[in-house]
Structure 1
Amino acid sequence: MGKKRRILVRFTPPQILALGILAIILIGSVLLSLPAASSTGEPISYLDAFFMSTSAACVTGLSVLNAGVHFSLFGQIVILMLVQVGGLGFMTMATLIALVLRKRITLKERLLLQEAMNQGSVEGIVRLIRKVLTYALAIELAGAVLLAVRWAFDMPLGQAVYFGVFHSISIFNNAGFDLFSSLPGAQGSLMAYVNDAYVNIVVIGLMILGGIGFIVIADLLDFKRTRKLTLHSKVVLTATGLLILLGSVVVFIFEYTNPLTMQPLSLPGKIFAAFFQSATTRSTGMNTIDIESFRQATQFFVIILMFIGAAPGSAGGGIKITTFAILLGAVITMVRGKEDIVFFRKRLPEERIYKATTLTLASLILVVTGTMILSVLQDGPFIKMLFEVTSAFGTAGISLGLTPELTSPSKVLMAILMFVGRLGPLTLAYALTPKGTKELYRYPEGKITIG
C-alpha cells in the first residue's frame, strides 16, 4: 500500500486525472467488447467498443453504434455507469468510496479534487464533494421519477422506470445517449416529444442544472442562508441565461420557415423546440428536431454554442462559459478604453485573463487541426467535419450523421478529441509537460504594434 502511495506521489494532479479517465475508458472498452454487451450476442469490434466507452466516460454522446439497438441490457448499464462516473468525475466517486469506508482524505487527494473541481484552493473541498454527490443523486432521482411518470403512459411501467433512470442520468451528466431508437417506429432521441410541454420542461431543467455546475447549484441552495452569490455564480447564471435566450431566438428565426424542422410545428411547439435546441447545444446532445436538416447558418451557430460549452465544475465541455464571458469582457473593456475587466463591481486579475486567452486559442487550434485531419481521413461536406469535431471537443454529442460513417482512423481521432475535450486542453498540457520553475529574472519590456 505504501509503495503504491509513493508511486502516486510522483505524478502531478493533472497527470493522475488524465490517467484516471484513461483507465475508466479502457475498463469500459473491455466490458463493452464482451459478447454479453451486444444485443445479438456477437461481440462488437474493440475499436467500436473503445469509441463508445470514450464517448460515455467523457460524457459526449457521439455514437458509432446505437445504445438502444446494438447493446444488451448489460451493455446499456455499462454505458450508464461510465456516464455516471465520467460525469461526476472519477475522483469524486473515489472520494465517495473513501467516505463510505470512513477513510481519511489525504492532502494529495484533496489537491486532486481541487484540480478536478476547478477550485482555487483545497479549503472546504471535501465538504463540496459531499454536496456534489448529494445534489447529483437528488436531481437525477427527481428527473427519473418525473420522466418515468410521463413515459408510463407510452410504455410498460418497468420499461418507463428504466427509461426514466437511464435518460435522467444521461441528460443531467450532459451525455446525450438515448434508448428511444429501440422502440417500434421511434424517431430517435426525443423527437417524438417535440410538442410535449411536460417532457420539454423536465429535460431542459435537467440540462440547465447539469450545465451550470455543482459549484453554482451549491451556491444557489445556500442563498437562503448566506443571502449572497459568489462572483462565479453570478457570471455563470447571467451568461447561461443570455446564451440560451440568444440561441433560442436565433434557432427560432432561422428555422421558423424550414419545412424539414420547425415549420410544421405549432407556435408553442416552435418555441419549445427553439429553447430545447439552444439548451442542448451547450453540451447535452439530445434533440427534439432533426439537427441534420437545419439550415447551414443555424448549424454554424450551433457550432459556436458547442465551442463555448457549459460552466466549469459541470460535466459539460467546451472552453467554458466563464472563459467566454472573460473574453467578451476584455473586448468591451478595450473598446471603452478601460484597464480592468469588471463584473458585478469586482475586478478580474490578469492571471484569469491570460488563462482564458490561452485556453481559447489552444481549443481553437485543436478544433481547426482536428477538422483538417478529419477532412483528409473522411469524405463529406466541410460543415459536417467542423460540426462533428466541435461536438467531440465540446463533448456535446450532437451529430450531423457523420459519426456512424467514420473510418477506423477517424474513430481514433474523434476519441482523442473527446478525451482532450473532457479533460481540458490546459489540464492535458500540464499533465504532459514537466512542472515549471519560477523565473528568477524578467526581461526588459518591449512593444509590438497591434491592429
Structure 2
Amino acid sequence: MNTNRWSTTQILSFGFAMLILIGGLLLSLPVAGKNGAGIPFLNALFTSASATCVTGLVVYDTWTQFSYFGQAVILLLIQIGGLGFMAVAILVSLAVGRRIGLRERSLLAEAVSSMQVGGVVRLVRRMLIGTALFEGIGALLLAIRFVPMFGAGQGLWFAVFHSVSAFCNAGFDLMGVRSPFSSLTSFYDDPLIILTIAGLIIAGGIGFVVWNDLIESRFHFKNLHLHTRAVLFSTLALLLIGTVAFVSLEYSGTMRSMNPGTRILSAFFQSVTPRTAGFNSLDIASLSDGSKFVTMLLMFIGAAPGGTGGGIKVTTFAVMVASVLAQLRARDDVNLFHFRLEAEAIRRAFCGTAVYLAMTVGGILILCAQEQSLTAAAFETLSAIGTVGLTVGITPTLQALSRIAIILLMYAGRVGSLTVFMAVAQPKHNGKLKNPVGKIIVG
C-alpha cells in the first residue's frame, strides 16, 4: 500500500481506524475479560472505538467486565486517542533519535491543530510534558481519596485511570466496583473528586495550542492569539451559562435534596462534563427534559480544536455567532475580538457544522428505526459524534446496526466530520474556468 500519495486527512483517518481495529482485537481476547472468556468482536470494536475516540459510551461496565489487562488496553487507547496517534509516533521517533522530516511535521501540525508547521515539534514536546504534568497532579489528588478507600495498589490504579480518562475527556470509569454504570454519582458531594475531575476535563478540552500560547505570552491577555481568546472566552461563558441553567432547571428535580453548595457543585460539573467528558455525578436519565436539552446543546458545541474533546468546537461556534451578528448588523466584515475573520475560516465553520448536522440526523434516524425514542436517539447520537459518552441508559441495549452507526459517529467525531468527508472526497481541482453567476432567493 503506497501511502506517499495520500493526503494528510487520509493518513490521519486511516491511522485512527487501524488503532480502533487493533484495540478491538485485543479486547476480544479471553485474557481481556475477568471471567476468562472473550466478548463478541462487535462489542469489543465498540469499546475500542469509544476509548480511542475518547468518548466513553460503553456496552459493558468497565470494572465488571474487563480484567486488569483489558483495563490497561482501554487506558492505552484513551491516552493514544487523546494525544493523537501522530503525536505518539513522533514521541517514539524522538526517543530513538530519528530525524523528523517535513512530511511528518505537516502531519503532526494537522493532528494537533497547530496553525503553522514551524515549531510543531517543540509544541508536541510541551504537549507531552504538559499531559504528564496534568495527569500526574490529577492522579495524586485522586489518590488522596481512592487509596484510603480501595487500598494502596487498587487505589493508585483507580487514581491513574480516572486522571488519564478525565484529562483525555474519555469518560471511562471503574466505579462499577461500587455499582455498575454508576460513574461518579456516589461522589456528587465530594469537592476533591468532582473539582479534580472537572479541572482535568477543562485542561484537556481547551487544547494544547491554547496552553502553548498561554506559556509563550506569559499569561498576558493582550499578547494572546485570537484563537486563544476565543477559546477561553467561549469556554468560560458556556460554563457559567450551563451552571446557571442546571441550577434553575434541576432546583426542584434531581437537586431538590441538596444543600446550596452541593447544588452549585453538581450544576457546575454537569456543565463541564457535556463538553465531551462523559462522566456524570447526576443520573442522566432522571434529568428534566430541559436539562437534557441543555446537555445536548453543550455536547453539540463541544471543546476546543487541538484538545482532547469533540463537538463542532467552541471556535466554530464563536465564528458562526460572529457571522450571524455581522449579517444582522449589515456589516461586510466579520469581526471577533477586534480581529477581522478570513472568509475561508467562515466557510469552513459553516461547512463543518453542516456535515456534522447531516451525520447527526442520519444517526438519529438509524436509532429511531431501531425502536429508540426520539429523545434517547438524539441524546445518544449527539453524545457519540461529540465524543462525550453521556447516555440516558440505552447504550447496552442497542441493536447491531445501531452499534455500528454509533461506532462510525464516534470515529467521525474524533477525527473530525469535515476531515472524514475530505478524506473520501474527490481531489481538489484548481481549474481556471468558472461557472456564470446565478441569483437565488434565500430566507
TM range (shorter): over 0.9
Which runs of 4 or more aligned residues in structure 1 lie more than 4 Å from their structure 2 counterparts after TM superposition? none
- C-alpha deviation, 1:449, in angstroms: 2.2
Alignment partner, residue 62 of structure 1 = 57
Identity %: 42
Alignment partner, residue 109 of structure 1 = 104
Alignment partner, residue 433 of structure 2 = 441
Distance 1:352 1:132 in 2: 25
Alignment partner, residue 410 of structure 2 = 418
The answer to whether the 8 Å contact 2:64/2:180 transfers is: no
Distance 1:101 1:196 in 2: 44
Alignment partner, residue 158 of structure 2 = 163
Distance 1:170 1:32 in 2: 18
Alignment partner, residue 130 of structure 2 = 135
Report whether the alignment pairs 1:207 with 2:172.
Answer: no
The answer to whether the 8 Å contact 2:52/2:80 transfers is: yes
Alignment partner, residue 150 of structure 1 = 145
Alpha-carbon spacing, 1:69–1:328, altered in 2? closer, same or farther (3 Å) = same
Report whether the alignment pairs 1:362 with 2:355.
Answer: yes
The answer to whether the 8 Å contact 2:113/2:209 transfers is: no
The answer to whether the 8 Å contact 2:114/2:209 transfers is: no
- C-alpha deviation, 1:448, in angstroms: 2.2
Residue by residue over 1:199-218, the C-alpha shift from the partner in whole angstroms, topping out at 9 and shown as x without a partner, is: 22211110110110011111
2:384 aligned partner, one-letter code: A
Distance 1:204 1:306 in 2: 15
Distance 1:444 1:414 in 2: 42
- C-alpha deviation, 1:67, in angstroms: 0.7
The answer to whether the 8 Å contact 1:29/1:53 transfers is: yes
| SS of residue in 1 equivalent to 2:149 | coil
Alignment partner, residue 188 of structure 1 = 182
- C-alpha deviation, 1:433, in angstroms: 1.8
1:173 aligned partner, one-letter code: C
Residue by residue over 1:221-275, the C-alpha shift from the partner in whole angstroms, topping out at 9 and shown as x without a partner, is: 22328772111000000000001111111111001100xx211111101100000
The answer to whether the 8 Å contact 2:61/2:180 transfers is: no
Alignment partner, residue 393 of structure 1 = 385
The answer to whether the 8 Å contact 1:186/1:192 transfers is: no
Residue by residue over 1:350-379, the C-alpha shift from the partner in whole angstroms, topping out at 9 and shown as x without a partner, is: 1100000001111111101110111112x2
- C-alpha deviation, 1:25, in angstroms: 0.7
Give the alignment of 1:40-439 within 5 angstroms: 40-183=35-178, 188-224=182-218, 228-258=223-253, 261-377=254-370, 379-439=371-431
The answer to whether the 8 Å contact 1:9/1:108 transfers is: no
The answer to whether the 8 Å contact 1:251/1:298 transfers is: yes
- C-alpha deviation, 1:187, in angstroms: 7.1
Which has the larger displacement, 200-209 or 91-100? 200-209
Alignment partner, residue 27 of structure 2 = 32
Structure 1 unmatched ranges of 5 or more: none
- C-alpha deviation, 1:108, in angstroms: 1.3
Distance 1:264 1:340 in 2: 50
TM-score normalised by L of structure 2 = 0.97
Which has the larger displacement, 321-330 or 426-435? 426-435
Provide the alpha-carbon RMSD of the alignment: 1.4
Alpha-carbon spacing, 1:229–1:342, altered in 2? closer, same or farther (3 Å) = same
Distance 2:429 2:151 in 1: 62
Distance 1:250 1:15 in 2: 40
| SS of residue in 1 equivalent to 2:183 | coil
The answer to whether the 8 Å contact 1:309/1:316 transfers is: yes
1:433 aligned partner, one-letter code: A
- Number of residue pairs matched? 442
The answer to whether the 8 Å contact 2:187/2:281 transfers is: yes
| SS of residue in 2 equivalent to 1:154 | helix
The answer to whether the 8 Å contact 1:171/1:203 transfers is: yes
Which has the larger displacement, 387-396 or 218-227? 218-227
Distance 1:202 1:65 in 2: 25
Residue by residue over 1:133-188, the C-alpha shift from the partner in whole angstroms, topping out at 9 and shown as x without a partner, is: 111111111111111112223221222111110000001001000001123x5772
TM-score normalised by L of structure 1 = 0.96
